[in-house]
């Protein structure tokens, strides 16, 4: 029996800030993106060689629209922090940042 997809906890139209650490070699990079959720879904993990396993081996994703109109899709894992934020300050645009931490 194939399990049903769980209901998403992210509501479209909610403004969020997503914070993730990405490991590149021996460094950790902090990345943040802020925007409005357009949709949340699940995508298969792995390649075409997985065949039928793609129906139950899935990763949660959210699609965000940033203030400048850019659309980005973020894959979520157990270490990803998603926090609800207020409307943006119109004087300073939201920027994706990457900072190396040793």
Instruction: Kindly state whether residue 8 falls inside one of the protein's structural domains.
Output: no
Q: Is residue 18 within 8 Å of 32, Cβ to Cβ?
A: yes
Domain that holds residue 59: 15-101
Q: Is residue 47 part of a domain?
A: yes
The rounded average pLDDT for each run of 10 residues, N- to C-terminus, in the chain (102 residues) is: 68 94 91 94 72 71 94 92 81 57 60
Asked, for residue 9, whether it belongs to a domain, the answer is: no
Residue 19, domain member (yes or no): yes
pLDDT on residue 94: 55
What is the phi/psi pair of residue 23, to 5°? -90, 125
What local confidence, expressed as pLDDT, does residue 96 receive?
Answer: 58
Greatest distance between any 2 Cα atoms in the chain: 53
For residue 62, being part of any structural domain is answered with: yes
């Amino acid at each position: 029996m194939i399990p049903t997809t769980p209901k998403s906890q992210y509501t479209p139209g909610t403004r969020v800030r997503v914070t993730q650490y990405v490991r590149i070699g021996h460094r950790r990079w902090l990345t943040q993106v802020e925007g409005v959720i357009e949709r949340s879904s699940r995508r298969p993990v792995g390649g075409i060689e997985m065949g039928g396993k793609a129906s139950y081996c899935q990763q949660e994703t959210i699609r965000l629209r940033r203030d400048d109109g850019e659309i980005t899709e973020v894959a979520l894992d157990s270490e990803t922090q998603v926090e609800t934020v207020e409307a943006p300050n119109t004087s300073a645009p939201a920027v994706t940042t990457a900072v190396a931490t040793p």
